Amino acid sequence: MTAQKTILRALAGETLPTPPIWMMRQAGRYLPEYKATRAQAGDFLSLCYNPELAAEVTFQPIRRYGFDAAILFADILLVPQALGADLWFVTGEGPRLSTITTQAEVDALKPVEAIHDTLNPIYETVRILSKGLPSETTLIGFAGAPWTVATYMIAGQGTPDQGPAHGLKAENRAVFDALMARITEATIEYLSAQINAGAEVIKIFDSWAGSLQGADFVDYSIKPMQQITEAIKERHPGIPVIAFPRGAGERYVGAHAAIGADCVALDDGVDATWAATHVQKDGCVQGNLKSSHMVTGGDALVSETRRIVDAFSGGPHIFNLGHGITPDADPENVQLMIDTVRGK
Ligand code: CP3
C-alpha cells in the first residue's frame, strides 16, 4: 500500500502521533497575499468565479505554512446564486441575497440541473488544484448545509438568531420544507461535481445548527446532512465526509452515526476533554482552538494548542480552529500554532 496522506489516514480512523492540521478560512483577509489577489480579481465574487485566481488564493496558505489540507476557495452562498437568487457582498457588512419566502418564489428557482451553468468555474478551480497541490496535501471540497444556506436565502442576509428562517418554518412549513428539499438536491449535485473534478474529502458547514431546538435539530440539521452524506457515499464510495453542526453542544454526542460522517468538526463551545470521551469515541474529530488565539498569540495560544492536542491524542484527530480565522489575525500566530502542533 502506498503511504497515504495524513488527513485521509485520520479520516479513516487512524490515531497519528502528530495530528494533521488545516484551518477554516485559511485563505483569507489576514494574509497580505490574499488581499493582493482579491484586489486583482476586483471583488470577492469575481475571485470565487475566476478559476486561476481562486486556485492561487487556495495555494497561498499551503505555500506559506504547508498545511496538510487545502480547502477549495469558494463560498456556501454560490449554491443559492446558482439556483437563481441574486447575491452580492456589501463591504464591511457581509452577504446580501434576494429573499425567498413564498411557494411561488421556491417554484421560480432554477431546476437543480441548471446549477452547473453557474458553478462550472468552481469545478475548473478544483481541477487546477487537483493537478497543482503537493502530493501530501489533501483537497477538501465543501458546501453549506441546507439549514444554514436556507437561513441566508430566507432572510436575504446573515442574522444573529436566524429569526426569519425560524419564522417561515413556524408559519409556513410546506414552503420551508420545499426550499430545504431544493437546496439538499442542489447540494448533492454540486458536491458530486466537485468530487468528479478532484475533491478528495467533502466538508458540510452547518454554521447555524445551534439555533435549531428539539426535534428541529434532528429534522433540519442532522437529517439533511445525513441525506447528503448518504447520496455522496452511494455515488462516490470511499469519499470521506466531515460534518460541522456548529453550536450543537451536547448534541455532538452520537452525531457521527446519525449523519453517517467520517469526522465531526467541533466548535470551540465544547471542551476538548469532554469531546474526547463523548464524541471522539465514535470516530475522527476536527477542531477546536478558539480563533481569537490567532489574534492574541503568546503563551495562551501555545498552552491551549497543547491542551487540545493532548486531549485528543488517544484517537483520530485533525487539528483546526473552532471557527474561521478572522481578518485581524496575525499570520505569525498561525505559524506558532502549527509549530506547536508539530512539536517544533
Ligand atoms: O475556509 C476557506 O478558506 C474556504 C473558503 C470559504 C469561504 N467561506 C471564503 C470566504 C468557506 C469554506 C466559506 C464558508 C462560509 N461562507 C460559511 C460557513 C462557515 C462559517 O464561517 O460559518 C458561511 C456562513 C459563509 C457565508 C459568508 N461568506 C459570510 C457570512 C461572509 C461574510 C463574513 C466575512 O467573513 O466577511 C462571507 C465572505 C467570505 N467567504 C470571505 C471569505 C474569504 C471574506 C470575503 C472577503 O474577502 O471580503
CATH of the domain at 286: 3.20.20.210
AA letter at 15: T
Residues 46-73 have a mean pLDDT of: 98
Residues 144-167 have a mean pLDDT of: 98
In angstroms, what is the span from residue 88 Cα to ligand 1's centroid? 13
| pLDDT of the residue at 3 | 62
Would you name the residues annotated as active-site residues? Answer: 25, 29, 38, 75, 152
**Confidence bin at 95 (pLDDT 50/70/90):** very high
In the predicted structure, residue 2 carries a pLDDT above the cut 90: no
In angstroms, what is the span from residue 31 Cα to ligand 1's centroid? 14
d(CA 95, CA 86): 10
Domain total of the chain: 1
| pLDDT of the residue at 91 | 87
In the predicted structure, residue 294 carries a pLDDT above the cut 60: yes
Q: Name the closest-CA residue to atom 46, ligand 1.
A: 44
Q: What is the DSSP pairing of strand 87-90 with strand 94-97?
A: antiparallel
Residues 84-112: b if buried by 16+ CB within 10 A, e if exposed: bbebeeeeeeebbbebbbeeebbeebeeb
Q: Give start and end residues of each alpha helix (H) in the chain.
A: 6-11, 32-41, 44-48, 51-65, 78-82, 103-107, 115-132, 146-155, 163-171, 173-197, 215-216, 223-235, 255-259, 272-278, 293-296, 298-311, 331-341
In the predicted structure, residue 14 carries a pLDDT above the cut 60: yes
158 Cα nearest atom in ligand 1: 30
Residue range of the domain that includes 38: 2-341
Surface-to-core class of residue 331, CB atoms within 10 Å of its CB (0-12 exposed, 13-18 middle, 19+ buried): middle
Q: Name the closest-CA residue to atom 1, ligand 1.
A: 25
231-283 residue pLDDT tens: 999 999 999 999 999 999 999 999 999 999 999 999 999 999 999 999 999 99
121-142 residue pLDDT tens: 999 999 999 999 999 999 999 9
Q: Name the closest-CA residue to atom 32, ligand 1.
A: 94
Helix (H, G, I), strand (E, B) or coil at 93: coil
Q: pTM of the entire structure?
A: 0.97
Residues with CB under 6 Å of ligand 1 are: 24-29, 38, 44, 71, 73-77, 94-95, 142, 144, 148, 158, 205, 207, 324
What residues pair up with 265 in beta bridges, in sequence order?
A: 286
47 Cα nearest atom in ligand 1: 47
